[in-house]
């Protein structure tokens, strides 16, 4: 990783972009749509997962955890991610009525 305040070199950028990002949200999430569009523009692999709609019908989860961490795969439609290599970002948003 580059030092804070410095610009990463192309090798570091390529290594970071190879790891997929998994976005767990509803299908109709306009904010996630914008984030996914930007990730696609940057050629970052993305898997969008709606636990309320995709699982267990469209998604297949094969996973286990242990002393070595998490391992397995999540497949949604034609996209599969290795759970050991996915970048996980967690943002909690609440709708205010």
Q: What angle do CA 48, 54, 55 make, to 5 degrees?
A: 120
* Between 94 and 57, the higher pLDDT residue: 57
Q: What is the mean pLDDT of residues 45-62?
A: 89
Looking at 1-93, which runs of residues are DSSP E strands? 21-24, 46-49, 59-66, 69-76, 79-82, 87-88
**pLDDT for the residue 33:** 93
Residue 19 confidence class, pLDDT cut points 50, 70, 90? confident
The answer on pLDDT for 7 being more than 70 is: no
């Amino acid at each position: 990783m580059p030092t804070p305040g410095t610009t990463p070199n192309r090798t570091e950028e390529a290594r970071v972009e190879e790891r997929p990002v998994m976005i767990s949200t509803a299908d109709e999430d306009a904010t996630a749509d914008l984030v996914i569009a930007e990730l696609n523009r940057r050629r970052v692999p993305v898997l969008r997962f709606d636990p309320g709609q995709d699982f267990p019908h469209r998604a297949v989860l094969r996973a286990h955890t242990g002393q070595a961490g998490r391992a397995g795969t999540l497949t949604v439609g034609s996209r599969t991610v290795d759970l050991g290599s996915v970048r996980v970002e967690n943002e909690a948003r609440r709708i205010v009525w």
